[in-house]
Structure 1
Amino acid sequence: MRISRKIAAAGALTALVVGATAAFSTTASAAPNVTPQDVCGSGYKTVNSEPISSLGTVYLTYNSSNGQNCVATISNSPGTVKYMATHIEVPDTTERAVDAGFFRSYAGPAYVFGRGHCVNWGGTIDWAHVRVDNSNCAALKEHRVTEIR
């Protein structure tokens, strides 16, 4: 009798551990509800964004305490591995940052120093690409381009 109780308890504990592990690993790998601040950091505020077709959004964030811009491309359907990229550059300097590859939820962060400068930034998810030029500066008119391949 005692042996069967021990076996039943061990089986229940094993089922509980396996179930909890499956639940937590699904949540962690899919990374639902990711925000630009999750990707870039808590000091970054979203200052601009652009949808990438219906697939997701690329976000431009800025940290006023350090003068850094950050971009993150976030998928609307996390969990499935897909090609994603994010990029940012300061046209009047040589500073540029890119993050690209096959990701489940987001590409980024990519950082550049942007205080007092216009920035060009964008993102890609699968077959759709968005580029925003001359962004977040008063002197130049912003130019947005969406390409679907």
Structure 2
Amino acid sequence: MRLNGSVMTAAALAAASIGAATALAAPASAAANTTPQKVCGSSYRTVNSAAVGSLGTVYLTYNPSNGRNCVATIRSTPGTAVDMSAWIYVSATDEGAQDYGRYTSYAGPASVYGKAYCVDWGGQIKNVYVQVTGSNCSALKEQRVTTTR
């Protein structure tokens, strides 16, 4: 899936207005002890994270054997399905992945090849959005933005 930066930004902004279409999405099963490794795979290690207010955390993971990054947004307390998202984008390769829907516990996995590249990533739980840009590279200082809509 090829996504450009403006598409990722537009997708993040549009997540709040998904409405009835996401109400039909099958929710992920609630798992109180869900971890990024359970979502992305046991060979992925957590390399970064960002709080989604008090609602949960977005995790950036990396698998050194295949060079892929994976993102998962995990709720602090699973429960009734709510709007959630996880996304990742590598501008150098114009590759991105996303998962948006109504979930009870987590959104994701969303993964792309990211070895030796800066990555932009983020997620959403209910009306709280997190976006991290220029992450996990020595060339840039990452920027974090959390918004509530």
User: Equivalent residue of 1:30, what SS?
Assistant: coil
Calculate the aligned-residue CA RMSD, in Å: 1.1
List, as ranges, runs of 4+ consecutive aligned residues in structure 1 with deviation greater than 6 Å.
none
| Alignment correspondent of 1:56 | 56
Q: Which runs of 5+ in 2 are unaligned?
A: 1-27
Determine the C-alpha separation between the residues in 1 that align with 2:39 and 2:69: 12
Q: Which runs of 5+ in 1 are unaligned?
A: 1-27
Answer 1 or 2: which has greater helix percent: 1
Is residue 31–residue 79 contact of structure 1 (8 Å, CA) maintained in 2?
no
| Alignment correspondent of 1:82 | 82
Report % sequence identity. Answer: 61
Alignment of 1:43-122 (within 5 A): 43-122=43-122
Report deviation, 1:79: 2.3
User: Equivalent residue of 2:38, what SS?
Assistant: helix
| Alignment correspondent of 2:148 | 148
Deviations 1:113-148 (A, max 9, x none): 000100000000000000000000001111000011
Deviations 1:10-67 (A, max 9, x none): xxxxxxxxxxxxxxxxxx9421110000000000000000000000000000000000
Q: Which has the higher contact order (CA 8 A, sep 6+)?
A: 2
Is residue 81–residue 104 contact of structure 1 (8 Å, CA) maintained in 2?
yes
How many residues are treated as equivalent by the alignment? 122
Question: 1:37 is matched by which residue type in structure 2?
Answer: Q
Q: What TM-score, normalized by structure 2, do the two folds share?
A: 0.80
Report deviation, 1:93: 1.3
